[in-house]
């Protein structure tokens, strides 16, 4: 259950989670209704058949927001609507107006929704109570905010906000490629994205390439700035950090995974438990490095 992306939010470390387990059942996922398009709520992080809606190790909490979405292709609805409109035009000798079109479309949706297939989904989140951050396993800011909203709905109050850097992330990432020292534990990967400072300017994407080289140096001299940068932390995790402060392509390397091989596990639950312990520790370390390097604002201030 290793996360593949991290969309991060900060919340006050004074936030009270003592009633979390009692409140989560009220915000649990309910089956999507016959005339509903979607439903969201908490499910067990351990999968179907498990009752626990949260899992905690020390100051780290694992939550999972589940979803059910009706699959109703727009092309199908539009095709049926066109047929209905054509029938009316042939019968009455006139084209139906906007109100008629809207009414017919609503009628079609009510007719089709109960028979539509349901697509399940899940989005995992890690809450670090010691440092006051939420890491959502998504590269979409909107999806991350939806998870935070579900936590807020369960707790009643959860003042979590997207990360805010007190320095421009572009300048920091550009400086690291240009030769400025990286924070302890960080090393450059082999992927980056550079953009002209002007909106709408040229974009250069590099992969599988040494980043501190003459070719990249010429782009920097031309005024381009780094907007995405591949990094490795302690030879444990590799990732791509964007100027939007979203961590993408998160991958756990042998240096981290080897720790699991030294852990005795008797069942799947124990293995997931060990993986979460490893995940929470590595993500916390990564967050602390980024917090210092990018001067991330605290939510308690």
Domain ranges of the chain: 74-114, 169-294
pLDDT tens column, 189-215: 999 999 998 777 789 999 898 888 888
The set of residues, in sequence order, having a beta carbon less than 8 Å from that of 247 and lying 6+ positions away, is 5, 6, 7, 8, 239, 240, 241, 286
Give the integer Cα–Cα distance in Å for 133 and 91. 62
How many separate helices (H) and strands (E) can be counted in the chain? 8, 12
Kindly state the tokens that stand for 35. Answer: 């005339």
**Three-state secondary-structure class, residue 48:** coil
pLDDT of 271 = 81
Phi and psi at 283, nearest 5°, equal -65, -40
Phi and psi at 296, nearest 5°, equal -70, 135
CB-based contact 134:11 (threshold 8 Å) = yes
Q: Which contiguous run of DSSP H or E holds residue 269?
A: helix 268-294
Phi and psi at 187, nearest 5°, equal -140, 155
Give the integer Cα–Cα distance in Å for 285 and 239. 13
pTM over 0.85: yes
pLDDT of 180 = 93
pLDDT tens column, 110-141: 888 888 899 999 999 999 999 999 999 999 99
Give the integer Cα–Cα distance in Å for 117 and 123. 20
């Amino acid at each position: 259950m290793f996360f593949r992306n991290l969309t991060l939010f900060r919340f006050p470390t004074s936030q009270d989670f003592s009633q979390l387990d009692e409140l989560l059942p009220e915000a649990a996922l309910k089956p999507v209704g016959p005339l509903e398009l979607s439903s969201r709520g908490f499910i067990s992080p351990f999968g179907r058949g498990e009752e626990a809606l949260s899992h905690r190790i020390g100051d780290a909490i694992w939550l999972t927001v589940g979803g059910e979405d009706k699959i109703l292709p727009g092309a199908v609805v539009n095709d049926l609507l066109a047929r209905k409109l054509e029938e009316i035009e042939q019968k009455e000798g006139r084209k139906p107006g906007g109100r008629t079109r809207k009414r017919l479309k609503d009628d079609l949706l009510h007719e089709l929704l109960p028979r539509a297939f349901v697509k399940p989904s899940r989005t995992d989140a890690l809450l670090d109570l010691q440092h006051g951050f939420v890491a959502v396993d998504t590269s979409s800011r909107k999806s991350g905010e939806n998870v935070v909203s579900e936590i807020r709905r369960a707790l009643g109050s959860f003042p979590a906000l997207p990360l805010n850097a007190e320095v421009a992330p572009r300048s920091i990432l550009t400086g690291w490629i240009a030769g400025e020292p990286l924070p302890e534990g960080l090393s450059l990967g082999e992927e980056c994205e550079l953009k002209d400072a002007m909106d709408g300017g040229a974009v250069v994407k590099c992969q599988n390439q040494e980043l501190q080289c003459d070719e990249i140096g010429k782009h920097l001299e031309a005024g381009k700035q780094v907007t995405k940068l591949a990094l490795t932390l302690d030879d444990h995790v590799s990732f791509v950090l964007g100027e939007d402060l979203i961590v993408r392509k998160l991958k756990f390397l042998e240096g981290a995974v080897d720790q699991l091989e030294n852990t005795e596990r008797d069942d799947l639950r124990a293995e997931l438990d060990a993986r979460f312990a490893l995940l929470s520790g590595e993500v916390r370390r990564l967050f602390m490095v980024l917090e210092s390097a990018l001067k991330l604002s605290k939510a308690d201030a």
